[in-house]
């Protein structure tokens, strides 16, 4: 693969359909993904390419200038991004989450303001997680009213995509004790970004620390967070589907590298009785299993995306169907569980195909497993299996959660 071609900041107008546009952009993003991983070179140009191409606006409703893409199209984008570079895919996931939350809970003024900014090419990331606390998800960052504005103070960790972003949506505790979202430009005084993510995988997600020291927040920059916590919506399922799509993309990337290596570089063992590794029955068996697992994840992603579109439409139309949304949560959980297994197994089985020579650091095939193992730690899949079984066996609805 030629890594010396310039990375264009714009995409040709010939990429007229969304499918063509996704293929054109992800091909460029994939070009140097292994090199970026080896050197932990952040993907600033690649994220900028995504923004300039318009792909980060496709979920925005047509009335605000977007394509109004459905979840089947969004899922295809994230599978393709996950295959090209799962770091870039994860870095922009919260951008799409912000769009979804804005559609659901944003005021008319906030929708006009932030959709316009995104249409102009602005990128949004999230700052949610904190260290400490008794449970995962506990937060202490405070948004306090002071006169006609607010002050935001605290420290956030694992802020995926923050170093690529123009704006952050930041989870905080409001004066009343409830959770709220504050939307701030990254150059706001008192807001500092630190590039300190050192995970073994997903090395270039730009998941740094964000320090907030008495940051001024205007009233129009504060959004509701309770939707998705106190009533059943599609927000948790939509985020989980995109995570599953990333895992599926990792599986497909590992499968592609395994097949290419088997065809072009692997040598058969003498006992195989064949002249090339691509004819070795055990290599074929391994690749066959890898293909079934990876393509099964793709099929489940598509199925879940179709159901999620129905659930999202019920919520956004103001006629939320609780039973449909619960079933959507379960099907998305199934998709996430399958994708979790697919990316881990396929990225490890790659070495059954290539043998010792496939472990060369020059090839950097281990990035697939490192990315898979790192990304899948974000969400305990065991709780998905529990919720799935409880739904089918006992008829219990899944919890209202961003994780199920």
Please write down the long-range contacts of 108-111, taking CB distance under 8 Å and 24 or more positions apart: 109/220, 110/220, 110/223, 111/64
pLDDT at 132: 87
Range in 87-91, 215-219, 354-358 with the lowest mean pLDDT: 354-358
For 108-120, the pLDDT digits (tens) are 999 999 999 999 9
Report CA dihedral (298, 302, 307, 308) to the nearest 10 degrees.
80
pLDDT at 4: 33
pTM of this structure: 0.94
For 92-144, the pLDDT digits (tens) are 999 999 999 999 999 999 999 999 999 999 999 999 999 988 888 899 999 99
State the chain's mean pLDDT as an integer.
93
Dist CA 334 CA 337 (whole Å): 5
Fill in the DSSP letter of residue 186: T
Give the residue from 95, 89, 99, 72 showing the smallest Cα distance to 375.
89
pLDDT at 404: 60
Q: Is the pLDDT of residue 11 over 90?
A: no
Report CA dihedral (65, 71, 73, 75) to the nearest 10 degrees.
130
* Distances, alpha carbon 128 to alpha carbons 146, 276, 323, in Å: 23, 51, 29
Range in 4-8, 162-166, 198-202, 273-277 with the lowest mean pLDDT: 4-8
């Amino acid at each position: 693969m030629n890594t010396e071609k310039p990375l264009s900041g714009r995409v040709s107008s010939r990429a007229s359909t969304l499918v063509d546009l996704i293929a054109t952009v992800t091909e460029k993003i994939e070009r140097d993904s292994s090199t970026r991983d080896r050197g932990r070179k952040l993907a600033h140009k690649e994220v900028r390419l995504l923004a300039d191409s318009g792909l980060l606006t496709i979920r925005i409703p047509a009335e605000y200038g977007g394509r109004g893409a459905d979840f089947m199209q969004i899922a295809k984008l994230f599978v393709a991004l996950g295959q090209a570079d799962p770091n870039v895919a994860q870095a922009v996931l919260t951008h799409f989450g912000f769009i979804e939350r804005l559609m659901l809970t944003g005021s008319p003024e906030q929708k006009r303001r932030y959709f316009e900014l995104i249409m102009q090419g602005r990128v949004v990331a999230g700052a949610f997680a904190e260290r400490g606390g008794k449970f995962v998800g506990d937060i202490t960052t405070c948004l306090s009213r002071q006169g006609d504005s607010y002050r935001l103070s605290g420290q956030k960790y694992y802020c995926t995509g923050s170093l690529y972003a123009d704006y952050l949506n930041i989870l905080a505790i409001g004066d009343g004790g409830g959770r709220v979202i504050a939307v701030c430009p990254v150059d706001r005084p008192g807001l500092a970004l630190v590039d300190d993510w050192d995970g073994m995988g997903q090395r270039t997600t730009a998941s740094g620390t964000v320090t907030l020291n008495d940051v001024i927040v205007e009233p129009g920059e504060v959004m509701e967070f309770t939707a998705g916590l106190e009533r059943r919506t599609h927000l948790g399922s939509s985020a989980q589907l995109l995570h599953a799509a990333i895992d599926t993309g990792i599986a497909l990337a590992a499968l592609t590298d395994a097949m290419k290596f088997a065809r072009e570089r692997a040598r058969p063992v003498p006992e195989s009785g064949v002249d090339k590794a691509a004819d070795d029955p055990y290599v074929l068996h391994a690749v066959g299993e890898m293909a079934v697992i990876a393509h099964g994840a793709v099929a489940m992603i598509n199925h879940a995306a179709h159901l999620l579109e129905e659930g999202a439409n019920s919520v956004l139309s103001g006629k939320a169907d609780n039973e449909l949304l619960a079933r959507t949560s379960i099907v998305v959980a199934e998709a996430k569980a399958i994708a979790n297994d697919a990316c881990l197994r396929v990225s490890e089985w790659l070495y059954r195909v290539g043998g010792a020579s496939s472990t060369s650091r020059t090839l950097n095939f281990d990035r697939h497993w490192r990315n898979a193992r790192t990304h899948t730690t974000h969400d305990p899949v065991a709780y998905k299996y529990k919720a799935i079984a409880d739904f089918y066996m006992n008829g219990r609805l899944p919890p209202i959660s961003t994780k199920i």
